[in-house]
Amino acid sequence: MITSGEAVSLSIALTGSGGAGVMTAGQLLLEAATRCGLYGLMTRSTGPQIRGGEAAAMVRLSPKVVQSPGDRFDVLLALDFDNVQRFAAELPLDSSGLIIADPAAGDIPAFLRASGARVAQVPMAKLAKSVSGGRSAMIALGVLARLIGLPEQAVSDAVAASIGRRKPEALAASEEALQLGSAHAPDVTIPRLATPASKPQGRWSISGNEATGYGAIRGGVKFVGGYPITPATEILEWMAGALPQCGGALVQAEDELASINMVMGASFGGAPALTATAGPGLSLMIESLGLAVASETPIVVVDVMRSGPSTGIATKSEQSDLNIAVYGLHGDAPHVVTAPLSISDCLLTAQWSVHLAESLQTPVIVLSDQSIGQARAVIDRPKEISFGTRRLTPTEPIDNYARYAATESGVSPMSIPGQRCGQYTADGLTHNARGVPSSQAQDHVEQLHKRQHKLDAFDFSTHWAEIDGQGELALLTWGSSSEPLREAIEIARSQGINVKLIALRLISPPQPALLARALEGVRRVLVIEQSHGAQFWRYLRAYYDLPAEVVSIACPGPLPIRPGEVLAHIQKGASA
């Protein structure tokens, strides 16, 4: 007997060679569990190969919303062991775990045996062969559904919805494989999840990249120019389908230099515009981002961060583009940098970022990352928010127009081509209030000041950070690292340790007054981030007054920050 009572969550990893179907099986498992009223998360880990490499689908199920991986896996189901050692560090298993293996796959690799996890053998490949058109991954799904205790109907429905009724043969083969898997599930127990009482209402299954795309469209984005890059491509692909239905368009550019300039062109023409990329693409866009600052052209650039520098690990996550996003531009180039705090928060952050770009007439860089972008979560339908986004344009008839006139807010009316007497030239050259190129000190300083002032004068307080709880100990983080911290804090609280969470959604411009207020009563701060260079901590040190006791916990990617490690830091921090 492994457990008594009900588990908070159940984590299952499916591994196999690329193309073996583990991603599909993981997705279907999540969908079936969702149909039973559970929440869940699926993250994916792959090698660089398109086929034949290694693939792992990591599914975490829970009666509550879960948006980050847990500490360990309850079940590892391996269709084969071909490249599984490459996931050794990503698949924490212990003696209470269960390995489900296929005897045909050969010996269980030493690192898995060393975990002490129980082993159950199921001849999945052989069973699949006994079904015409049967696939091992479907046998595996049948096995897992049985062990978890998901009703067969829920699994069948999920499969039918995925395969579609128009392919009766494929559907029949899958059904048969599922039943065979279910019948051959090993006679072992795994932790049981509380069964939700009611049928789920109004839930969404959404990936971070989809949420970013939809958030951007909600914010009013009409034009996307983009160049394919892992792990951001899904934003472009999703928006390519959605934009034409919303009266907009996506253009696949020839490179990132083109994407960012297309986006600026569209925005100049009056269409809120966005591009999505990853670190290498952002590097290419940096020069033009300076132009967007100087010409005060609103644009949104989403960087779905991956492990860097250079090509790095394209398929795995890291929060290491903070420096380039904040400091990458040459000259004094104030702009906005934001970061979604979770998969579901990609929606709000993208929408808010469009609002900021349009309101402030400046580029906004959104730092999402692979761990949330390519992960899918089942969430409660997000609240609808309207920011009332509207670009400030001159009222007609326009008289004696000065595009870059100094105003109280620093934001000046931006005419849109077609507006009579609103003609001006947007320029990267230093210009005067009318937009006329100038190399005079006074114009230079006036415009530098104007562009800084519009950010300084803006009220970011509504969404700059998520702050939760009270305590002398605070965890200070940003972006996607927030979710594992949130989970660790919840456990700490159940142990009687009070911890405050401060998760920044707005990275730049810094908000020292807001953070000072959030830190009132805090004696010790743990700064937690996923970068080797402690980029966030260094950034905080440059702009913020922090309490005397600050501990920097900087974990490089690509491994996720897990709640257990954070909890250990909390316990240490609270007792010291």
Partner 1 sequence: MNRMADMRREFKPADYKSSVKPVWCPGCGDHSVLLMFQRALAELALPPEQVAIVSGIGCSSRIPAYTNCYGFHGVHGRSLPLATGLKVARPDLTVIVASGDGDGFSIGGNHFLHACRRNIDVTYIVMDNRIYGMTKGQPSPTTEPDWETDIAPEGTGVTPFHPLVIALASGANFIARGFSGDLAGCTRLIVEAVRWPGFSFVQILSPCVTFRADQQKAWREQVRKAVVPETDDPARAARRLMTDDGFNTGILYRGKREAYRQQPFGDCDPSFLEAEFEV
Taking CB under 8 A as the rule, does residue 380 contact partner 1?
no
Q: Does 422 bind partner 1 (CB under 8 A)?
A: yes
Segment contacting partner 1 (CB under 8 A): 106-114, 115-123, 421-429, 495-503?
421-429
Q: Does 435 sit near partner 1 (CB under 8 A)?
A: yes
Q: How far apart are CA 22 and CA 124, in angstroms?
A: 13
Binding flags for partner 1, 149-188, as an x/- string (CB under 8 A) = ----------------------------------------
Cα 211 from Cα 197, distance rounded (Å):
28
Residue with smaller CB distance to partner 1, 194 or 251:
251
Among 169, 396, 456, 545, interactor with partner 1 by CB under 8 A? 396
Over the range 460-473, which residues count as b (16 or more CB within 10 Å of their CB) and which as e?
beebbbbbbbebeb
551 CB burial (10 A radius; 0-12, 13-18, 19+)? middle
> Could you give the residue ranges of the DSSP H alpha helices within 297-396?
322-327, 345-360, 370-373
Task: Return the residue of 111, 204, 327, 458 that touches partner 1, per CB under 8 A.
Answer: 204
Min dist CB 341 to partner 1, Å, is 19
Binding map of partner 1 across residues 264-293, x = CB under 8 A, - = no contact? xxxxxxxx-x-------------xx-xx--
Q: Check binding of 420 to partner 1 (CB under 8 A).
A: yes
Nearer to partner 1, 113 or 381 (CB): 381
Residue 220 corresponds to which tokens in the numbers above?
Answer: 């009013």
CA separation for the pair 44, 371 (Å, rounded): 8
Region near partner 1 per CB under 8 A, out of 15-23, 78-86, 181-189, 253-261: 253-261
CB 420 within 8 A of CB 396: yes
496: number of Cβ within 10 Å? 7
Q: Binding partner 1 by CB under 8 A: which of 47, 134, 248, 298?
A: 248
The window from 131-139, 179-187, 189-197, 430-438 that contacts partner 1 (CB under 8 A) reads 430-438
Bridge-based pairing state of the strands 336-338 and 299-305: unpaired
Please state, in angstroms and as integers, the Cα–Cα distance from residue 554 to each residue in 248, 378, 410, 421, following that order.
Answer: 41, 29, 37, 54
262 binds partner 1 (CB under 8 A): yes
- Shortest gap between Cβ of 251 and partner 1 (angstroms)? 6
Q: Long-range contacts of range 511-517, CB-CB < 8 Å, 24 or more positions apart?
A: 511/460, 511/461, 511/464, 511/465, 512/543, 512/544, 512/545, 514/460, 514/461, 514/464, 514/465, 515/465, 515/544, 516/544, 516/545
398-433 CB burial, b ≥16 within 10 A, e <16 = eeebebbeeeeebbbbbbeeebeebebebbeebbbb
Q: How far is the CB of 376 from partner 1 (least distance, A)?
A: 10
User: If binding is defined by CB under 8 A, does position 447 make contact with partner 1?
Assistant: no
Contact string (CB under 8 A) for partner 1, positions 31-50, x = contact: x--xx---------------
Least separation in angstroms between residue 436's CB and partner 1 is 5
Cβ of residue 203: shortest distance to partner 1, in angstroms? 5
Q: Is 444 in the site for partner 1 (CB under 8 A)?
A: no
Indicate which single residue of 17, 115, 374, 419 sits in contact with partner 1 (rule: CB under 8 A). 419
| Residue 190, number of CB atoms within 10 A of its CB | 21
Of residues 120, 56, 59, the one with CA closest to residue 88: 56
Residue with tokens 């966030």: 536
The residue within the footprint of partner 1, chosen from 110, 198, 247, 386 (CB under 8 A), is 247
Chain positions 223 to 242 lying near partner 1, rule: CB under 8 A, are 223, 225, 242
Task: Provide the binding-site residues for partner 1, judged by CB under 8 A.
Answer: 31, 34-35, 200, 202-206, 210, 214, 217-218, 222-223, 225, 242, 245-249, 251, 253-255, 257-259, 261-271, 273, 287-288, 290-291, 295, 378, 381, 396, 415, 417-429, 435-437
